[in-house]
């Protein structure tokens, strides 16, 4: 037997002795919903692959008729799962350690249904899987497509609002609770962050109220 054949035989024997790569086992069980595109099953955080839902505090609609689309997307996912068993399959994780997976509940693709209902958009940067469902939801004006909407990725990357003008320290915040302004010294003032494009600083409470904001209760 030639030296080349001996080397080839040795390589084949070595390959046979190496362990085969393990396929990722599906994650299955009741799910706890974190937000519109994230859930947890048996202690495993799962990010629904191919979709992007509004952030929890994100609002949609016209400036004078905002609605809490982020909170609604979370509720929509909870309703879709219905507390039953969910089966998720994936073999990659994102930078936060969440399993990127396609999930099924009641025999239905959860991501597809969320996009089709207008509760999420197709995450084109990573996949074109749900582009058709998005197009149908947009054409029918469902969910986030019922009015003006900022894509979740753009919302997350929106630049922070400029610092307040001198002596204008009232914070006009937009959240799932509506358009609320916080005065210095109030309970939630310090943790309220002005960041979204619809949020702003005001010099007087009258100015805030004329812009459609109401005073915080505490």
Residues 153-198: tens digit of each pLDDT: 999 887 766 677 778 999 998 877 788 999 998 988 887 878 766 7
Q: Are 88 and 27 in contact (CB under 8 A)?
A: yes
Question: What is the per-residue pLDDT for 196?
Answer: 67
Question: What is the per-residue pLDDT for 192?
Answer: 84
Enter the pTM of the model: 0.69
Give the SS3 label for residue 67.
Answer: strand
pLDDT band, very low/low/confident/very high, at 16 (cuts 50, 70, 90):
very low
φ, ψ at 107 (rounded to 5°): 75, 10
Given a cut of 70, whether residue 3 has pLDDT beyond it is: no
Residue predicted with more confidence, 81 or 13: 81
- What average pLDDT does range 112-127 have in this prediction? 97
d(CA 205, CA 184): 11
Given a cut of 50, whether residue 13 has pLDDT beyond it is: no
Average pLDDT value over all residues in the chain: 87
Give the distance between the most distant pair of CA atoms in the chain.
95
Which residue is it, tokens 């025999």?
107
Q: Which helix (H) or strand (E) holds 180?
A: strand 178-182
Question: What is the per-residue pLDDT for 160?
Answer: 67
Q: Name every residue whose Cβ is closer than 8 Å to that of residue 43 and which is 6 or more positions away in sequence.
A: none
Given a cut of 90, whether residue 127 has pLDDT beyond it is: yes
Given a cut of 50, whether residue 151 has pLDDT beyond it is: yes
- The count of other CB atoms within 10 Å of the CB of residue 46 is 24
pLDDT band, very low/low/confident/very high, at 15 (cuts 50, 70, 90):
very low
d(CA 212, CA 187): 21
């Amino acid at each position: 037997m030639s030296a080349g054949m001996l080397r080839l035989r040795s390589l084949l024997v070595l390959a046979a002795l190496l362990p085969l790569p393990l396929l990722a086992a599906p994650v299955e069980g009741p799910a706890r919903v974190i937000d519109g595109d994230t859930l947890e099953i048996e202690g495993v955080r799962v990010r629904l692959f191919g979709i992007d839902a509004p952030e929890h505090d994100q609002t949609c609609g016209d400036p004078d008729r905002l609605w809490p689309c982020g909170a609604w997307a979370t509720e929509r996912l909870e309703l879709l799962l219905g507390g039953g068993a969910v089966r998720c399959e994936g073999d990659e994780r994102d930078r936060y350690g969440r399993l990127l997976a396609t999930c099924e509940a009641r025999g239905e693709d959860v991501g597809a249904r969320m996009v089709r209902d207008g509760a999420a958009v197709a995450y084109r940067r990573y996949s074109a899987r749900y582009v058709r469902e998005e197009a149908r939801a947009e054409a029918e004006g469902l969910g986030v497509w019922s009015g003006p909407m900022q894509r979740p990725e753009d919302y997350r990357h929106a630049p922070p609002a400029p610092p307040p003008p001198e002596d204008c320290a009232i914070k006009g915040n937009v959240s799932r609770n509506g358009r609320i302004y916080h005065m210095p010294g109030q309970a939630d003032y310090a943790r309220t962050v002005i960041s979204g494009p619809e949020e702003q600083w005001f010099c007087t409470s009258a100015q805030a109220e004329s812009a459609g904001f109401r005073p915080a209760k505490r």
